[in-house]
Chain A
Amino acid sequence: MSTVKTHKHAFHFDSADHEYESSKQGVWLFMVTEVLMFGALLMGYMIFKVTMPETARAGAEYLSWQFGAFNTVVLLFSSLTMALGIYYIRLDKRKAAQISLGLTLLCGLIFMCVKYIEYTSKISHGLLPGAMFTNANETVNLPLYFSFYYCLTGLHGLHVLIGMGLIAWIMIRIGKGHYGSNHWTGVEGVGIFWHLVDLVWIYLFPLLYLVE
C-alpha cells in the first residue's frame, strides 16, 4: 500500500474544510431528490393498497416475508460496516476500512442474490408487471400489483448495484492512498448514499412483505 497522499483542495474552495462541507451538502441535496422519488412511488403503492385491498392481499401472498426479513438484516449489517468503514478511515486504519467496505460490498451481493432468487421464482410463474402477466390467477388488477412490486424493488435494487459500484471505487481509492484522517469526503458521501438505500428498504420491507 502506498503512503497517504496529502489532499490538496480544489482551487475554487477557500480551504479543505470548505471543500468537505460543500461536497457533503451536495450529497444531502441529492438525497432530497432520492427521498422525493421513492416517496412518490411508495405513495402510489399505498393508494393502491387502500383502494384495492383484495388485490394487494392476493399479490402479497406470492412474497415470502422470510426472504424480506433476511435481506433487511443483511442491509442493516451493511450499513453498520459502511459506517465503520468511515470510522476506520478517519483513524487512518486503511486496511480495516477496506475490510469493512469489502463486507459492505459482500452484503450488497448477498442482497442481490436473494433478489435474484425472488425474481426468478416469480418470473417462472408468469408473475410479471402489467401486460406481461401470464399467471392463471384472475384476481382483478393483480398485474398492477406486480407493476408496483417490480418498480419499487427494481429501482431499489438498481440503487444497491450503483452503491456497490461506488463502494468498489472507494476501496480502490483507499488502496491508492487517496483517503485518510485528513480527507475522507468520498467515503462519507458514498456512505450517505448507501444508508439512504438502507432507509428506503426499511420502509419497503414492512409495506411489501408484512402489512396486509
Chain B
Amino acid sequence: MSEHHEHHLMSFKTHINVFVALIVLTVVTVLLSSKFGLVDFGKAGLLVALLIATAKAAIVMGWFMHLKYDGMMNRVIFLSSFFFLVLFIFFCLLDILTRINPRL
C-alpha cells in the first residue's frame, strides 16, 4: 500500500480528544439553546446553532474522516459540495427573506 508514500495513522489519543471535543460542543449547543434560557439569542439562535454545528462538522471531517491527512484532490471534491450548498442557501434566503420583509 505504501509504495509511493506513507498513509498517515492518527494516534489513539487523538481519536479520544476529537470525541471529547465533539461531546463538549454538543453540551455547549444544548446549554446555549432556548431550552435552558441561560442566554437569549432571540432570532440569532438559529445562527448560533448552525455555527456550533459547523464547528462539529469540521472536526468530524478533518479528523474522523481523515480529510486533514487526505490529498488535496479529495478535500477540494468534498468541500466543493459545501461551496455549492452555500450558493444555494444564499440565493434562496435572499429571495425568501426579502419577500417576508421587503425593507431588507
**A residues apposed to B, CB below 8 Å:** 15-17, 20-21, 24-25, 28-29, 31-32, 35-36, 39-40, 43, 46-47, 49-51, 65, 69, 72-73, 76-77, 79-80, 82-84, 87, 90-91, 181-183, 188, 191-192, 195-196, 198-199, 202-203, 205-207, 210-212
Bound form: Cα–Cα A198–B45 in Å: 22
B26's partner among A25, A36, A76, A191 (CB-CB below 8 A) is A76
**Do B2 and A17 touch across chains, with their CB atoms under 8 A apart?**
yes
- For chain B, residues 54 to 103, give those with C-beta under 8 angstroms from any C-beta of chain A: 56-57, 60-61, 63-66, 70-71, 73-74, 77-78, 80-82, 84-85, 88-89, 92-93, 96-97, 100
Which residues of chain B are within 8 angstroms of A16 by Cβ–Cβ distance?
Answer: 1, 3
- Check if A47 sits within 8 Å of B73, measured CB to CB: no
Interface string of B9-45 (1 = CB under 8 A from A): 1101001101100110010011001110000000001
With A32-B77, A43-B89, A65-B35 known, 11 other A-B pairs at CB within 8 A are A17-B4, A21-B71, A49-B46, A79-B22, A83-B64, A90-B9, A181-B1, A205-B53, A207-B50, A211-B46, A212-B45
Question: In the docked arrangement, what's the CA distance between A49 and B89, Å?
Answer: 14
Q: Which of B19, B53, B78 touches A28 (beta carbons < 8 Å)?
A: B78
Residue of chain A at shortest CB distance from B27: A69
Q: Identify the closest chain B residue to A16 (Cβ).
A: B1
Asked, given contacts A199-B61, A206-B29, whether A50 binds B3 with beta carbons under 8 Å apart, the answer is: no
Q: Give the chain A neighbours of B23 by CB distance below 8 A.
A: 73, 76
Q: Which residue, of A31, A43, A76, A181, has the highest number of chain B Cβ atoms within 10 A? A: A76
Min C-beta distance of B98 to chain A, whole Å: 12
Contact residues in A for B66 (Cβ distance below 8 Å): 188
- A203/B15 in contact, CB under 8 A: no
Neighbour of A17 across the interface among B3, B9, B19, B57, CB < 8 A? B3
Set B3, B52, B64, B73: member contacting A195, Cβ < 8 A: B64
Sample of 22 A–B contacts (CB below 8 Å): A20-B1, A24-B74, A32-B78, A32-B80, A36-B84, A39-B81, A46-B89, A49-B46, A69-B30, A72-B26, A73-B23, A77-B19, A80-B16, A80-B64, A83-B15, A83-B18, A83-B63, A87-B9, A199-B61, A202-B53, A211-B45, A211-B46
